[in-house]
Structure 1
């Protein structure tokens, strides 16, 4: 597989993972810079970007980036792009190992910059849904989808895979299939979310087991949900993404409980450390907390 075909395959994998087009564009730009570096250094052999790339080449590329004067965060992002790229090729059987796996990122002091929405912004999203000139069925669909995302912390891919049998109305849980090794988890399915989904189900016309459907298909797609988000963002004074709704649900849970293990369970994080971002204060929260202690002489 040459580098162009490998890159096309990688882009499709990113879209399957619900990555935004802006994120995909950044990945591609990072990889093209790596390909250019390899081609200049080693010629056609280095330009394949597939199995011909040795670990040593990635290590030398990291050194090259560091000497270029780039910020540590930029160096790390480009290395992460390579890890993700080669991971996709390993999954496809194009290469057996990922040469970027053991190349460590640069150490930088991290502060929590995860973006989640404030309560008034979440309200504004649902106000925008209600104000749009559209049929009741479409309004019910959008309200149900966004409430499930912001209250139950699902990934958009998980939402699209939801089946009617996954909804436990009596006990108030949703069974979520993770897509990894047949694993699943249960997440809250509380009254406001249940009410919205029940209203949507009255309009649901097509046969099939999937909870959410489009007008033409018995199964909602991540791209369709992303399109809804884009359209709604155009009506709002702020931009938001589908994944921010999940972040918001998890941040809200962290603020309410203060327990990282609960957040990790609902999020489906295998490593509890992944959930720390929701427990740690955001930069905005830090700034707010320090307002009253500011010196002004």
Structure 2
């Protein structure tokens, strides 16, 4: 294992080397590429701050808990950084500090005294109204008149997100073998290799059926592009950017997934069931859909304003 290999290396370790090893450690522990990228960016901010504080070489051995505490004060005193960003950077620093102890680069956790900034939880999640989803589906119907095959693909992608709540990667990964038309269910191998089953709606089944009738490629995957037998997340995001520009509405695969969860909550579906359907590992993630959003609070204020 990676920790064992690093402990055996007794040579002085620089901060930048430890960050690279931390990234390898995260990769070997099945962290997503997005998570690793986020941790890397956060630690690079810290490293740049250290570079201004000390002359090279920037060895791990020069760091003390005072340095990390001073960095915490630096972040919290910067009014241009959102509290959520400050907390994310501090949490990254904590995880990295734990890693340094694990591999024997430090004997104590340098981040022991760091405290997360207390923030009142407010719901900034963006979901679409039924009217906005209607505008999107109308634009896709017009697309079908110009290019039927492309329009049916776009409709299928939208329904997978807004009617079944699939993440963008989950949409790309759906295989024909995952679709059980007789039982009206779809099997999903989701985030973190978590398997779940979601019921298929009639409109979604019809869209999938129409898509399978017009697609040309032979592929084990449901969604294919004009150039490949597997559609990428980037290609799907590009499709939504096109409709966002066309309609003047911010539409992303994730905002449609949020819309799916919000619609369930508004129909009185219990929080545990929503978590199961969406593949959330914790109901705390699901709780945002039963909490008023900033937009909903603004609309409420418009009705009560003097």
TM-score interval (norm. to shorter): 0.7 to 0.9
CA displacement, residues 149-171 of structure 1 (integer Å, 9 cap, x when unaligned): 11111100011110111112122
Quote the offset at 1:122 in angstroms: 0.9
2:242 corresponds to 1:231:
yes
CA radius of gyration, larger in? 2
Aligned partners of 2:142, 2:167: CA distance in 1, in Å?
Answer: 26
Tell me, what secondary structure is at the counterpart of 1:186? strand
Aligned twin of 1:284:
295
- Choose which of 212, 216, 238 in structure 1 pairs with 2:227: 216
Aligned twin of 1:160:
172
Quote the offset at 1:208 in angstroms: 2.3
Aligned twin of 2:8:
none
Q: TM-score, normalised by structure 1?
A: 0.78
- Choose which of 56, 60, 63 in structure 1 pairs with 2:73: 63
Q: Is the 8 A contact 2:69 2:113 kept in 1?
A: no
Aligned partners of 2:78, 2:129: CA distance in 1, in Å?
Answer: 39
Aligned twin of 1:35:
47
Aligned partners of 1:231, 1:179: CA distance in 2, in Å?
Answer: 26
Q: How many residue pairs end up in the alignment?
A: 280
Tell me, what secondary structure is at the counterpart of 2:267? helix
Q: Would the alpha carbon gap of residues 139 and 103 (structure 1) be closer, same or farther in structure 2, given more than 3 Å must change?
A: farther
Aligned partners of 1:101, 1:161: CA distance in 2, in Å?
Answer: 41
Q: Would the alpha carbon gap of residues 14 and 44 (structure 1) be closer, same or farther in structure 2, given more than 3 Å must change?
A: farther
Unaligned runs of 5+ in 2: 1-13
Quote the offset at 1:77 in angstroms: 4.3
Q: Would the alpha carbon gap of residues 293 and 236 (structure 1) be closer, same or farther in structure 2, given more than 3 Å must change?
A: closer
Q: Is the 8 A contact 1:176 1:187 kept in 2?
A: yes
Q: Is the 8 A contact 2:167 2:254 kept in 1?
A: yes
Tell me, what secondary structure is at the counterpart of 1:257? coil
2:139 corresponds to 1:139:
no
- Choose which of 237, 251, 259 in structure 2 pairs with 1:248: 259
My pick for the range that moved more, 141-150 or 123-132, is 123-132
CA displacement, residues 226-267 of structure 1 (integer Å, 9 cap, x when unaligned): 111111212112222221011111111111124110111111
Aligned partners of 2:156, 2:303: CA distance in 1, in Å?
Answer: 40
Quote the offset at 1:271 in angstroms: 1.1
- Aligned-residue CA RMSD (Å): 3.9
Q: Would the alpha carbon gap of residues 216 and 36 (structure 1) be closer, same or farther in structure 2, given more than 3 Å must change?
A: same
Aligned twin of 1:150:
162
Q: Would the alpha carbon gap of residues 171 and 79 (structure 1) be closer, same or farther in structure 2, given more than 3 Å must change?
A: same
Quote the offset at 1:270 in angstroms: 1.3
Tell me, what secondary structure is at the counterpart of 2:87? helix
Unaligned runs of 5+ in 1: none
Tell me, what secondary structure is at the counterpart of 1:234? helix
Q: Would the alpha carbon gap of residues 252 and 66 (structure 1) be closer, same or farther in structure 2, given more than 3 Å must change?
A: same
Aligned partners of 2:221, 2:183: CA distance in 1, in Å?
Answer: 20
Tell me, what secondary structure is at the counterpart of 2:163? helix
Aligned twin of 1:117:
128
Aligned partners of 2:113, 2:137: CA distance in 1, in Å?
Answer: 45
